[in-house]
Amino acid sequence: MGFAVFVNSINCVDVSTLERLNVDDLSIVLVQDGVYHVFIKDSPVKKKNAKIYVLKEDLESRGLSAENVSDAEVVDYSKLVDLMMGEFEKMVWL
């Protein structure tokens, strides 16, 4: 069962909740200021065994480029809808 966690901020990631989360098929979706996590080497987001997605429109509105993103999949709203209505059966907003 696909479980997705949405992270929308840079500072108050509820690390303890993220750490306690014990899910097999985990995805972390970075939106709004959460996109900055992609550029932080020791971000708590990267310590989870999870597939990481980052919202393209929120990267670009912050002057960031999808080309500089590594170890995360850049998705736009359309693709995010497909993920949400497809593999993300359960979704949580941190």
Partner 1 sequence: MGTLVIGILTRPYGSTNWAFVLNLAKAALEKGHKVKIWCSGDANFILKKNQKPFAKKFNYESQIKELIEKGLEIVGCESCHLMRGIHEEEFIEGVPSRTMTWFFENIATADRVLFIGEE
Number of H helices, E strands in the chain: 3, 5
Q: Any idea of the CA torsion for 40, 23, 30, 74, to the nearest 10 degrees?
A: 90
DSSP state, 22? -
| Interaction of residue 19 with partner 1, rule CB under 8 A | no
| Interaction of residue 77 with partner 1, rule CB under 8 A | yes
| Interaction of residue 93 with partner 1, rule CB under 8 A | yes
| Interaction of residue 35 with partner 1, rule CB under 8 A | no
| Interaction of residue 44 with partner 1, rule CB under 8 A | no
d(CA 10, CA 14): 10
Site string for partner 1, 57-76 (x = CB under 8 A): xx------------------
| Interaction of residue 15 with partner 1, rule CB under 8 A | no
